Amino acid sequence: MIETGDKVEKFALVTGGSRGIGRAICIRLAEDGYRVIINYVSNDREAEITLEGVRAAGSDGELLKFDVADAGACEAAVEGWKASHPGQHISVLVNNAGIRRDNLLLWMQPEEWHKVLSTNLDSFYNLTRLLIKDMFSSRWGRIVNVASLSGLKGLPGQTNYSAAKAGLIGATKALAQELARKKITVNAVAPGFIHSDMTEDLKVDELKKMVPAGRFGEPSEVAELVAFLASDRAAYITGEVININGGLYS
Ligand code: NAP
């Protein structure tokens, strides 16, 4: 957070902000007055649409294209951002970028395992460690990790994804204890089935019968929870994993 005259500017970095849940989080944080740094890896047009949404919500933002699975790319992006924003820092980090590469373990190729682990879990390490020093100095920060039902329950066909999200949950609980005294909270959200590009190949009509709420969730519903965890109202919640799954699993 910085003071410009009497105006306080707060920066939030959302990984995977170009589409789906990430886009909804960007727009929701913009409604709360954050300037939103929208990360994505390839989809320029979709990222522009998110930026338009952020501006329509009354704030402003910027695009920061890099691969969260690539430690060097994360470092270059964060250092570049800092160099172009002297005296400012990122006080909210939402580790949301993620991919699926489903397969039965018997058939799973090394690339499917490693790509899912690096994008969903290494990304947490690559980025979070670069931002916590500034949160430390300002004695305020929020880290929200987007995990999954799959990381809690384990889902067949997703040993790679379940392992990555379970790892993210463990890291959330450990880091929360490292940072709590500095007024930095670290939490995870664990969505069930949410409408997005990631779930467009699923058989919605069959799967929604398994959900007590009788439907898939919306990205905006996850964004509402993330915005709460990023706010001052959630100052005493840390190391938690909050399910958002229509009653599917708890
Ligand atoms: P999505 O619609 O497929 O969007 C994925 C986002 O991640 C896109 O913005 C994509 O950028 C970005 N991304 C992918 N790989 C990246 C990389 N290497 N570096 C930077 N950005 C990258 O997915 P979603 O459904 O919104 O999922 C968001 C998060 O929620 C993920 O972590 C996912 O595992 C989790 N989740 C989703 C569901 C669900 O039902 N949808 C359920 C549980 C958990 P590009 O546009 O540039 O490709």
Q: Provide DSSP, 41-84.
A: SS-HHHHHHHHHHHHHTT--EEEEE--TT-HHHHHHHHHHHHHH
Taking only the tens place, the pLDDT of each residue in 61-112 is 999 999 999 999 999 999 999 999 999 999 999 999 999 999 999 999 999 9
Query: Is it the case that residue 4 has pLDDT exceeding 60?
Result: no
**Whole-number percent of the chain with pLDDT over 90:** 96
Q: Where residue 8 falls among pLDDT bands split at 50, 70, 90?
A: low
Give the helix ranges, DSSP H, for the chain: 20-31, 44-56, 71-84, 110-117, 123-138, 149-153, 159-179, 204-207, 219-229
- Token match 């004695």: residue? 139
Q: Using a 6 Å cutoff on CB, does residue 146 contact ligand 1?
A: yes
Q: Using a 6 Å cutoff on CB, does residue 222 contact ligand 1?
A: no
Answering whether pTM is above 0.85, one says yes
Burial of 29 (0-12, 13-18, 19+ CB in 10 A): buried
User: Helix or strand or coil: residue 186?
Assistant: strand
Query: Is it the case that residue 2 has pLDDT exceeding 90?
Result: no
Structure token pair of residue 43: 């989809």
pLDDT average, residue stretch 115-127: 99
Query: Which pLDDT value is given to residue 9?
Result: 79
Q: Whose CA is nearest to atom 46 of ligand 1?
A: 43
Q: How does 201-220 read in b/e, with b if 16+ C-beta sit within 10 Å? A: eeeeeeebeebeeeebbebe
Rounded-to-10 torsion of CA 27, 60, 139, 133: 100
- Span from the CA of 116 to the centroid of ligand 1 (angstroms): 11
Q: Which of 34, 40, 161, 249 is an active site residue?
A: 161
Structure token pair of residue 203: 């058989």
Query: Which pLDDT value is given to residue 250?
Result: 84
Active-site residue 161, yes or no? yes
Residue of 41, 162, 169 to mutate, ligand 1, most atoms within 8 A of C-beta: 41
Parallel, antiparallel, or unpaired: how do β-strands 11-14 and 90-95 relate? parallel
